Structure 1
Amino acid sequence: MNGEIRALLARHLPDYRVRSIDRLGQGLDNTVYEVNNELLVRRNKATTPEETRQEVARLAAVRELSPLPVPEVVFADESGVIAYSKLPGEPLNRHPVADPRLLARPLADFLSALHGASPDRMRDLAPLDTYPAPTLLQDAELDYRDVEAHVPEDQRHLVERFLGEPPPDEPAELRFCHNDLGAEHLLADAAASTITGVIDWTDAAITDPAHDFALIYRDLGPEVFELTVSHYAFALDEADRARVLFYARCALIEDLAYGLSTGPHHYAEAALTHLAWTFG
């Protein structure tokens, strides 16, 4: 694969000298390489040329919207490879900040700008995501049955109580969202407790804004969630909050199953660590 990356770099950046190529990781859809400690090259295994062009256009629009740094595209190839300038900082899931409460205001400003974008403007740049809550709940129950034995016995009733409750109503309004705003996609300066970038926009969509808040709740906890909501430009009513909790719980079960099967084990470790505050 390094040979393929070198060939793409030679084609798109003929004067660029490649000193090192390191594979950083692999997810369900993407493999990411770091070149010279300054470029990130992501290969999507399932994308189409049109989807690649759409993502490049989406990132350009997001860079105009976002008060937080987002990746800048250096080149894109119709094979599904996109190269970005590397942003500073480390993934928040692996490098917790000293005071996560300091992340609330910048996250609120970021989500206010993102969710405030006109859906009509963004519709050509991001798909519509209306995956129904009852189906999400069914998926969560199937995942939980696969990993139930790994959940501490004294916490299983929390998950099982959730799985037995009816799903929330569908949202009244859809907005442009990152749609996968987990801590692994937030770069941060751990010592300064600052966010240095928001990465991985492949799942961005016109969808329920509660999805973005859900992963803040799951990964950073209820206190940071409440602080973020207090600075957010729009109001969250009780129905919105119910969907935030619902999505957070479904997402935790999904990460637990992923980390115990094909994904990195630290996803499962984080899910178990955050289970009490997500389901409590």
Structure 2
Amino acid sequence: MEHDVRGVVRRNLPQAEAARVEALGRGLDNTAYLVDGVWVVRFPADPDALDVAREARLLREVAAVLDGIAAVPEPAFAAEGALGYRLLPGVPLMLLPPQDLGDIPATLGAALRALHAQPVERFEVGRDAGPPAQWLEEARELAAGLELPEAAWFLEQEPPPPGRETVFSHNDLGAEHVLVDPQTRTVTGLIDWSDAAICDPAYDYGLLLRDLGPAAPPAPAGLGERALFYARCGLIEDLAYGEPAYVAKSRRQAAWLFTPSGARPASGRR
């Protein structure tokens, strides 16, 4: 095993037996383990870039904002370069077909409104506010290695103008980071806040639009065009990343998202 999971848990979480340790997942930012079927222990790939103590403080702040709306992981310890918390119930939303989602879209919309309304000074995060022109250039580079003819017209367009407002954002709110109860169609948790940042509020809406299509919570007025733009760029990025589950969900959405007359910017009211 790459990390001393049992040692870290026994020193920092004495109520855990650490009798059973399973690999839970490995991403670009973290490696996660499941301990005794109850505890998640995450080790950042770059401890200098991801400060676990700071992330623990962030999770507590987010939990206070989302109290009564959606759960987030509650830190049990942040030590020895690892973050530990109790496993939240539910399965990733990406495992559900984007139909008959019950109250899930409404809950996600409420969570985003609550987060985006907070003063940005409240959170210890950086900024991630690259202009749409930069996003489009990166999408063009990634698309060059893909078979995605339906996106050709989009890649030739001009990007939308950048937004004037930046907000505190999850900044990676794809369907893989939304936990749900598949029976009740309710949100049980929002996870993986490592990429949280101050950025364009349209981005969170765009990733949900990428994954949920017309069922996604509508973006507030003025954000719809950029939300759709980010949805399209995010889909190209998912396909280029090559993870089978991400590729599958994005292939399902490609035809809808890249139909100029079919996909309309999601837009609503605050």
Taking structure 1 as the reference length, the TM-score comes to: 0.87
For 1:174, the equivalent position in structure 2 comes to: 166
Distance 1:34 1:209, change over 3 A: same
How far apart are residue 215 of structure 1 and its match? Answer: 1.1
Percentage of matched positions with identical amino acids: 39
Matched, 1:160 2:152: yes
For 1:106, the equivalent position in structure 2 comes to: 107
For 2:138, the equivalent position in structure 1 comes to: 139
Q: For 2:145, what is the secondary structure of its paired residue?
A: helix
Count of residue correspondences: 257
CA–CA separation in structure 2 for the residues paired with 1:48 and 1:243: 32
Runs of 4 or more, structure 1, over 3 Å off, are 95-98
Distance 1:59 1:31, change over 3 A: same
For 2:187, the equivalent position in structure 1 comes to: 195
For 2:264, the equivalent position in structure 1 comes to: none
| 2:30–2:45 CA contact under 8 A, matched in 1 | yes
Q: Deviations over 1:99-154 (max 9, x none)?
A: 225312111111111111111222xx111111221111111111111112xx3xxx
For 2:47, the equivalent position in structure 1 comes to: 47
How far apart are residue 3 of structure 1 and its match? Answer: 5.9
Distance 1:3 1:181, change over 3 A: closer
Question: Structure 1: where are the runs of 5+ without partners?
Answer: none
Taking structure 2 as the reference length, the TM-score comes to: 0.90
For 1:92, the equivalent position in structure 2 comes to: 93
For 1:130, the equivalent position in structure 2 comes to: 129
Question: Structure 2: where are the runs of 5+ without partners?
Answer: 260-270
CA–CA separation in structure 1 for the residues paired with 2:46 and 2:89: 28
CA–CA separation in structure 2 for the residues paired with 1:42 and 1:95: 25
Task: Identify, as 1 or 2, the structure richer in helix.
Answer: 1
Matched, 1:116 2:87: no
For 2:232, the equivalent position in structure 1 comes to: 249
Aligned partner of 1:236 among 217, 221, 242: 221
| 2:98–2:212 CA contact under 8 A, matched in 1 | no
CA–CA separation in structure 1 for the residues paired with 2:166 and 2:35: 37
Q: Deviations over 1:148-196 (max 9, x none)?
A: 2xx3xxxx1x301111011111111101111101000000011211111
CA–CA separation in structure 2 for the residues paired with 1:211 and 1:3: 34
| 1:119–1:176 CA contact under 8 A, matched in 2 | yes
| 1:146–1:257 CA contact under 8 A, matched in 2 | yes
Matched, 1:274 2:259: no
For 1:25, the equivalent position in structure 2 comes to: 25
CA–CA separation in structure 2 for the residues paired with 1:130 and 1:98: 32
Aligned residue type for 2:71: P
| 2:120–2:198 CA contact under 8 A, matched in 1 | yes
Distance 1:97 1:90, change over 3 A: farther
Aligned residue type for 1:219: D
- Which has the higher relative contact order, 1 or 2, with Cα contacts under 8 A spaced 6 or more apart? 1
CA–CA separation in structure 1 for the residues paired with 2:49 and 2:7: 18
| 1:91–1:185 CA contact under 8 A, matched in 2 | yes
For 1:72, the equivalent position in structure 2 comes to: 74
Aligned residue type for 2:26: Q
